[in-house]
Structure 1
Amino acid sequence: MRSRALSLFMLAGLVIVPVPVSARMYQWVDPGTGTTQWSGRPPAWYRGSQRGPRVLVFDGGRLIDDTARRVPDAERDMLRTQAFAPQPEAPTPTADAPAEGVDSEPSSPIDAAGPKGAPVKGPEVPLPGVDQATIERLKAIIGEWDRRQTEEAKRFLEGQAVGAPGAPPAGP
């Protein structure tokens, strides 16, 4: 009797005590059925040449980015500069000259209602009370914030060991 009570007590303790989960789980939406799929193994198209739905990866109950790649600081700064560089202005399409890749025939009566030669986009209206000095000051503030965020992210990543939960993988 005593042994049975002890066994029941041990079983109840195992059921009540949570066990930490550290498995890597993969989640995606099946395009055929629209249902969410979960698996302990990645789907067939994952990391392959085939294209498939986006896959979310959970490790230890946390969403991680296992596609992260380490990029040297110089290359990262160069890519960021390219991304935020001012782009040349494209000519504004008019009703006479449709935008590239658009059929010349209007797709609906509403599209056809505009006067010929009218700009598709309205004219830019300057913001009242905003001068160039204010714009430059705001750009400087945003640049400083971005620099601080980058430094904080570097310190965070340097503090994480490679292979730790939530840390980016060591290789591609």
Structure 2
Amino acid sequence: MIELKDVTLKYSSTKGIFNLNFSVEKGQVFGYVGPNDAGKTTTIRMLMGLIRAGRGSATIDGLNCFSRASAIQKNTGYVPEDVALFENMRVKEYLNFVTQMRGIFGQKNTRLRDMLIERFEVETRGKIENMSSGMKKRLTIVTALMHDPQTLVLDEPTSGLDPLMQSR
């Protein structure tokens, strides 16, 4: 479950997030929509513990997003709006790195990772720096899903993907 209570983060006297409240139940799909600069990405970054709210509380599965950020990041699948990968790594090397970092071991998880690579048609040969932006987004989606998280947080997950890939 995701829950925000009275979350406020001011950028200036007129801009920011003010007294935001919502909850998302387990199994529920929630679309967080609004105009540009409405604070959607900022809210998501708060949920992932990347920035702190000035006031209020945010939790994922009962964990405080501000004080338990590392546990949330370990247990949640997250696709950021802007993809940031280790460009100098080879794709297979990066996948192995993420696997070890997340503590993903065992045949079941290896099968899931391989199924996701196939489903999202991620080319695993070559360096990340040589991938298109759409392929990098697909790789990010695979790494967000490959540990079979209970919670997914997706910020503009289809941006940069072609229409066929968006439907997957």
TM-score w.r.t. length of structure 1: 0.28
Larger Rg belongs to: 1
